[in-house]
Structure 1
Amino acid sequence: MRPWVIEAVRGLCAPLVDGRVVPEHVELARDGSVRRRRPARQAFAARFDPVRRAVVEEETAEPPHLDTERLDAVRVSVLRAAQVLGTPVDIEWSWHPDTGLTILQARPITGRRSALGP
């Protein structure tokens, strides 16, 4: 991977890692229904500009929200990952308009308490 690509990935992740962006959090019950939902907090979006080879931050009117199509795709992936691993899972994912859902990471949930409370 080219060094500028690595830097671009780091640049895109930085607002999430440093807490300036908080993603939407959706907790599903074992049957796939939405159990809890916390909206995103995001005043800007980071995108990679291939011409400038740089990460650009742009203000957003409102935080992104999982629409039905995306939530259904995530739900199917979570339930499949839980089936494969044999335990409830936490997944991290991304969505691209051309390629759709990409699972970045899936791991067993190890704590008993939800990130949203007891």
Structure 2
Amino acid sequence: MSEQKRVRRTSEQIANDLDLQIAELNDSIQDVEAKKAEAVEKFDDKIASINEKIRKLQARKQDLLTPKKRVRRKTKAQQIKSLVSKAQKSGMKLNEIAEKLGVSIEE
């Protein structure tokens, strides 16, 4: 076997190799930052959707806690009175209303 001597590299060659390694590492950093940006975007979307759900639930809670205005029921006398007033507003006279109801008006 012939023994070969190891070829020694110059400091410029070593520096060039180191520059290549640095460039590769910078490229890998850029790749990792791109993945990080994608992940951050996904998490921001998730956070936004959760915040929207929270807003909807808060609106439901507010609707539940806010008392609604109750409509009072009308008595039969009030219902009849409103019915007669509506008939009068539509242009019917008392005699016509009584005739339709089959009742006679005593004067």
TM-score, structure 1 normalization: 0.17
Higher helix share: 2
Higher strand share: 1
TM-score, structure 2 normalization: 0.19
Highest RCO, 1 vs 2 (Cα 8 Å, sep ≥ 6): 1
Answer with 1 or 2: which has the greater Rg: 2
